[in-house]
Structures are given as C-alpha cells and as structure tokens.
A and B are shown apart, each in its own frame.
Chain A
C-alpha cells in the first residue's frame, strides 16, 4: 500500500519505512546509536529528498531512542548523571561545530573536509573497536593476565584522576572529573555537527574506551543522550527548514520503536565483547560503502541542494 508524504512530496510503499524503521530501531536498541548513518542514505535511495530524509530521521530517532532508553532504564542501564554531562558538552560542541562549518563553507572545501572526517572517524573507530573486542574475546578464552592493560591505562588514568571536580558516577561504577564527559561530549558534538550526524557511533566507543563505562550502561546512556540531541535537531529542522515529514516519521517510528525494544532485549543476551564486535563490523561496512561511493563514478552528477 502506498501513502503520500505531504512534505517530501512523494509517494512511498508503507512497507519500506516500517521495515527500515524495524531494522534501524533494532540496531539502535542493541548498540545505542541513532542509526542516522544508515537511515538517511537509505531514505534518499527510496526517493526521499535529502533534506527531508535527514530531518525526518531525527524525528524518528526521538521515538526510537525514547523506546530504547525506556527499555534500558527498566533494567537499570541508564546513567542519567553521565548522560547529562555529555549533553552539556554536546550542546556546546554543536554550537562550535556549526561555526566550523560556516568557516569551511567560506573556504570552499567544506564537502571534502566533511567527507574525509567522516571516513577517517568511521574507519578508525571501526578498526579500533574490532581489534580491541577481538583481543578481549581471546583473552577471556585463554584467561591471560590483564595486568599489561592496566599499566597502559595508568598514564591516561593518572592524568584524568588529577583533574579537579572529581565525582562518582554510581550507575557506571566509575569516578571522573565532570570536565571529562563535558569535554568528550563537546568533541563528539563538534564532529557530529560537522558531519551532520547524531554521533552515536562516536559516543559509544568514547564511553567504552575513554570513560571506561560498562558496555550495557553505555548503550542505555547513549540512547538517553541521543534522545535530547534529536529533539533539538527535529525542532530546528521543522522550524527553520520545514523539512520534517510527519507522515514519514510516523511510518518509520512504527517500526523503530518496536525494533528498539527488541534490540534492548537481544542486547541483554549478548556479551559486551560480542556487542562491540558487531557494532565495529557495521561501522566498517558503512566505511567501505562510503569509500565505494567516493571512488566509483556516480550515475547522476547532480543532486538536490540542501537548505533553502
């Protein structure tokens, strides 16, 4: 059955957005990512104008991450305190990022910088997570001493411990200066604004490797953080660009809210290493896809320009 989308000005088979919502929602509940890096290109592929695709996806993520946060919160896997500090950082980072984009556009090579940042970030994060989780899976099997790893941490750890405003994050079972999540959240915020993505795929590894939070709490906390970011983005997109398609968002969230629940349930059955290696795999696949897009001749050399 087809439905007409009043803002996208196109007609779509309702099974497509509902199906896409299910799959991306599942990834969202499983890994704590918004899934924009998958959803937006897929929507464009199905004929949705790019500006509407990005804006409507953020609206849909509000629903999926609410559903996912709720599911993780029920089993005590959301660190609200950490989430709030990350949000403060992310908010500041977003403002800085928008200014950086303005400068890049003025310099005339914005797209090159954005694409390269995207590929390198995805590539580095994917490879690092993949290798790390593979190693820790092996270590567990052979039960090798973990002392070496602890020594490595200590240099960075000492520095982090020396920062002022130390506070305890009960849910995650860690102690950090509040400056750490604010600065890291800010860093993700800057990059996310530049790349035009939610930044979940960056936030998750940062929480795992730099904040040393337990993987299952990372997923819930990341979703909590994404929820607020996407509320802000949805409002701004609707208000300034008029590019949120309400009907498309509803179709997407029909699938994604359920997918997020299923993802959260599945995630509880998987070990942290398994979750990490799966996420690393997805990030690497997306990286390869973007590299192909960059190197293969496109069939169309013109595309819709964003904004107005």
Chain B
C-alpha cells in the first residue's frame, strides 16, 4: 500500500514539475501520511486474525471451528487460504487389470502437497485473480495442480487426471476444500472493509501447525498479504497414548495385548456367573 502511495506522489511531482519546493512539500506530506499510518496501522494495512488459533484435541474432540477476521482497504477482493506445511504423500492407485477387475496397480507419489488445503474467496477465483497470480501464490486447485509433482505419470494429461482424483480423495476426508462467497464483508465507520469467515475445522485434520494467509486482490493482482496461525495439538490422555504408541512401541503393544487378555478373561468370568452353563 505504501509503495502505491509513494509512486502516486512521484507521479504528481512529475506533473507539477520537479521544483525543490514542491518536492519538500510532497516529502512532508508523505512523512505525515506515514505517521498517520503508523498511528492507526489498520487504516492502510490488511490484517488477519484467527479467533481460535490453538485447537486442543482431547478425548471428546469432534472437530472445531475457526473464524478468520480482519480489515482491509475498501474495494479489494479477498482470498483466505488455510494450509498445512507441504510434504509428500504416497497413495495406492487403483486401476483395471485385464480390462475387468479393479484393484491396486501401484503407488503414486504426490510431492509439494499440503495435507490440508482450504481456499475461500469473495468471488470466483478466475473472475478476480489472474492465472499467473493464482499460480504464484498457489491459490486454487488449478494452481495447486501446477505446483504439485506427481510420479510416476506418463504425461500432463495423466497428471491432471490423477491430481483430480487426489483432490477427490482429499475432499472426501474433508481436508481439501475450495469455495467462494462465504466471506462476509462490510464497511466500518472508518471507511475500511471488515471481513469475517467462519469455517468448520474437520476432525480429520491432523495435529500440527497451519498457516492462515489472507490476500487482498485488486485488478487481478495480489496487492497485500497478511498471515496468522492455527495450531492443532493433542492434549492429556490422547497425547500420552499417541506419544506412547510412537516412542514406547513395545510397551504400548504389550499393554494393548494385556488389556485385551484381561478383558476377555474378565467377561468370561462374568458370564460364568451370569448363567452360560449348559
């Protein structure tokens, strides 16, 4: 935003001729505007806040909700993107064998893919953001498709097909979504645009750190960016068990077996008294 303002000033300076007086005047003006901006950062800056930035998973966790809100310049479109860090995922690939039977025919590796990917925008992405910008900021499935590497595939067509299947698979487990029109916006008394979105946070989203990125879009380009974070963490007994399963695997295995044996015998004893004797 500042850069835009600055270039505007230079533009005006050129219009009025490059006199020293005008230059000083403009510098003063810019300076005072800067001060104004610093005093009230919201007036020229995009802000983003996630209300629920620490989600805790206990025994009764069944998903949550995350709302993102903030202020932006008026007359900009907005994109809100929630993602987990990128990694690689290996999935089994089904195909037809002998032209008749569906079964797993191999594995596909998807690289540079987030486990979680949610994009919300004020308008249809193609109507507000140029293809180049979508790809630059990895906004939307087509952009993600370009970003992701799929191996082994023979050609682009096959890659596109398997990426579509990948999105389908992810949407099925509710960790991928892309939609527009869910972001609410309104103008506040200071003439800024306030935005707000409430999203369901699926219980399928694994523990970890998530990035909430908000993009202000004007004339098909991203003009501003703001970030926030959401952390999802297991707590209490859930955390203890998950950690034990990983770090004390032998003990965890023996404990699981012990409990199962105990439960089996216990129920057997109860039933003996209960009258199972024929």
A contact residues vs B (CB 8 Å cutoff): 2-4, 6-7, 9-11, 47, 59-60, 62-71, 74-75, 111-112, 115, 231, 234-240, 242, 244-247, 249-250, 253-254, 257-258, 260-261, 264-265, 268-269, 293-298, 300-306
Contacts and interface: CB of A to CB of B under 8 A. Distances in A.
A74 B278 CA distance: 10
Contact of A305 (B107, B255, B272): B107
5 contacts: A11-B62, A234-B253, A234-B260, A238-B256, A244-B253
B209 to A, nearest CB: 16
Find the residue from B57, B101, B204 having the highest chain A CB count within 10 A: B101
A11 B63 contact: yes
B100 A295 contact: yes
B167 to A, nearest CB: 10
A37 to B, nearest CB: 17
A62 B261 contact: yes
Contact of B264 (A47, A65, A247): A65
Contacts of A294: 101-103
Given A6-B239, A59-B260, A258-B267, 9 more contacts: A10-B203, A74-B272, A115-B103, A234-B260, A239-B249, A250-B259, A261-B271, A300-B165, A300-B168
B29 interface: no
A67 B263 CA distance: 8
B10 interface: no
Interface in B57-103: 57-63, 90-95, 97, 100-103
Contact of A6 (B169, B242, B261): B242
Contacts of A300: 94, 165, 168-169, 172
Contacts of A238: 245, 249-250, 252-253, 256
A245 B107 CA distance: 25
B104 interface: yes
B181 interface: no
Name the 5 nearest CB pairs between A and B, nearest first: A66-B264, A238-B253, A70-B268, A62-B260, A63-B260
A70 B263 CA distance: 12
Contacts of B203: 4, 10-11
Find the residue from B95, B97, B234, B237 having the highest chain A CB count within 10 A: B97
A302 B165 contact: yes
Interface in B208-262: 234, 237-239, 241-242, 245-246, 249-250, 252-257, 259-261
B245 A265 contact: no
Contacts of A254: 263
A65 B165 CA distance: 40
A297 B102 contact: yes
B173 to A, nearest CB: 8
Nearest to B276: A265
Interface residues of B, number: 64
B63 A302 contact: no
B195 interface: no
A246 B255 contact: yes
A269 to B, nearest CB: 8
Contacts of A67: 263-265, 267-268
Contacts of A3: 59-60
A293 B245 contact: no
B105 interface: yes
B260 A2 contact: no
Nearest to B259: A250
A304 B173 CA distance: 11
B196 interface: no
B60 A4 contact: yes
A66 B276 contact: no
B37 to A, nearest CB: 44
A11 B61 contact: yes
A223 B116 CA distance: 43
Nearest to A5: B238
Contacts of A249: 256, 259-260
B255 A234 contact: no
Contacts of B93: 301-302
Nearest to B240: A6
A262 to B, nearest CB: 9
Contacts of A111: 103-105
A63 B91 contact: no
A268 B278 contact: yes
Contacts of A231: 257, 261
Contact of B234 (A6, A70, A240): A6
Contact of B91 (A295, A297, A305): A305
Contacts of A244: 245, 252-253, 256
A2 B60 contact: yes
Contact of B252 (A246, A268, A297): A246
B277 interface: yes
Find the residue from A66, A74, A260 having the highest chain B CB count within 10 A: A66
A235 B253 contact: yes
B94 A298 contact: yes
B148 interface: no
B197 interface: no
Contacts of B103: 111-112, 115, 294
B242 A66 contact: no
Contacts of B261: 62-63, 66, 231
